[in-house]
Amino acid sequence: MVQTIGVCGAGTMGSGIAQVAAMAGYRTILYDMDAGMIAKGRAGIEKSLALLQEKSRLTEAERQATLDRLSFIHRVEDCIADLIIEAIVEKPDIKLDLFLRLASVNDPKTILASNTSSLSLDALAEKVPGPERFAGMHFFNPAPLMKLVEVVHTLHTAEETTQTVMQVARQMGKTPVRCKDAPGFIVNHVARPYYLEALRLLEEGLSDPETIDALMVATGFRMGPFRLMDLIGNDINYAVSISVYEAMGQPERLKPSPIQQQKVQEGALGKKTGKGYYRYE
C-alpha cells in the first residue's frame, strides 16, 4: 500500500505533482539537487494552496494538513518512499543515474515511476534494478489542474505495479489511461506536429507566434502552440521533439526546428525563465 510518495525534481512538473500528492493525503517528499529549486517549488506550492483557500476550494485546516504532509529535501539518500515519481531533466543517462541511486537506498518493492514525456521506458527498464516495479506516470502541465495521467507499462512492468500506479492516480483525482511504451506515448505523439508545423510557418517567415496562436485559439484549441511551448518549457519541448524524431527513425515531418535549438541556446525557456516566444513578469 502506498503511504509515502517521493517526487524527484522540484521544477515545473515535480512541484505540481508533489502538491497533488500531498492534497490527496499522501506523505510527500519533494527532492531536488538544487536548493534554489526546492525553495522555489515550496513557495509555488504555498502560493497555490493559499489561492485555493481564497477561492474556498480548500479549508484552512486542509491547507495546513497538506503542508504538514510535505517535506523538502536535497539529499537523494533521504528520498525513501513507497512510490517515487521522477520528474527531472529529460536526459536518459541522468534519469538512469538517479534511479540507480534511488534503488540502492529504497526497499526492492518501492515503485519507481518516471514522468518522462518521451524517453523510452523499455530501454530504461533494461537497466533499472527490479524492472517489474518500474513504470511511466506521465502527468500533464499544470499538474494540479490537468486530469489526464498516462500510465505506461514496459515489457517488464508487473501488472500489480500498473494497477497500483493507476490506483494512486485515481486517489489524486486524476484520470489514468494505460499506455504501451511508444515514442511520445499517446498525447505527445499526436501533438508533435502541432508545434512543429507552427514552427515551420515561423521559420519560413509566413506568420508570427501571436497570429498563429490567436488563430488556433479561434479554431477551438485551448492554447496556441507558441504559448503552449512556453508553458511546457522550450528546453523540455526541444528534448521531447528530438527524442520522438530519433525514436521514429528521423522522419522529415518530425524534424526538430532550428528555432527550438536557438531558444534553448539563448536561455529563452519560456514562462519559467520569464522569456520565450513571449515575455512574462
Ligand X SMILES: NC(=O)c1ccc[n+]([C@@H]2O[C@H](COP(=O)([O-])OP(=O)(O)OC[C@H]3O[C@@H](n4cnc5c(N)ncnc54)[C@H](O)[C@@H]3O)[C@@H](O)[C@H]2O)c1
Write out 38-86 in H/E/C secondary structure.
Answer: HHHHHHHHHHHHHHHHHCCCCCHHHHHHHHHHEEEECCHHHCCCCEEEE
CB 113 within 8 A of CB 83: yes
* CB-nearer residue toward ligand X: 10 or 58: 10
Annotated catalytic, 156?
no
Query: Is 124 near ligand X (CB under 6 A)?
Result: no
- Pick the closer one to ligand X by CB: 53 or 71: 71
- Per DSSP bridges, beta strands 148-153 and 134-139 are antiparallel
Q: Is 232 an interacting residue with respect to ligand X (CB under 6 A)?
A: yes
Q: Tell me: does residue 233 bind ligand X (CB under 6 A).
A: yes
Q: Is 183 in the site for ligand X (CB under 6 A)?
A: no
Shortest distance (Å) from residue 238 CB to ligand X = 11
Q: How far is the CB of 59 from ligand X (least distance, A)?
A: 29
Per CB under 6 A, which of residues 3..32 are in contact with ligand X?
A: 8-14, 32
168/152 Cα distance (integer angstroms): 14
Binding to ligand X in span 48-87, by CB under 6 A? 87
| Annotated catalytic residue, options 188, 237, 243, 257 | 188
Q: Total residues at the site for ligand X (CB under 6 A)?
A: 29
- 120, 141, 171, 261: which one binds ligand X (CB under 6 A): 141
HSE-up of residue 159 (Cα within 13 Å, Cβ side): 0
* Per-residue binding letters, 240-259, with ligand X (x by CB under 6 A): x-------------------
Distance of CA 234 to the CA centre of its chain: 13
CA distance 135 to 111: 8
List the alpha helices (DSSP H) in the chain: 12-23, 35-54, 60-69, 92-105, 121-125, 159-171, 187-203, 209-218, 225-232, 234-247, 258-265
Catalytic residue list contains 153: no
Other CB atoms within 10 Å distance of the CB of residue 82: 19
150 is catalytic: yes
Which residues within the stretch 36-55 sit at the binding site for ligand X (CB under 6 A)? 37
144 binds ligand X (CB under 6 A): no
Q: Please count the other Cβ atoms lying within 10 Å of the Cβ belonging to residue 144.
A: 19
Q: Looking at beta carbons only, is 89 or 155 nearer to ligand X?
A: 89
Active-site amino acid positions: 117, 138, 150, 188
Would you tell me which residues interact with ligand X (CB under 6 A)? Answer: 8-14, 32-34, 37, 87-90, 94, 98, 115-117, 138-141, 232-233, 236, 240, 272
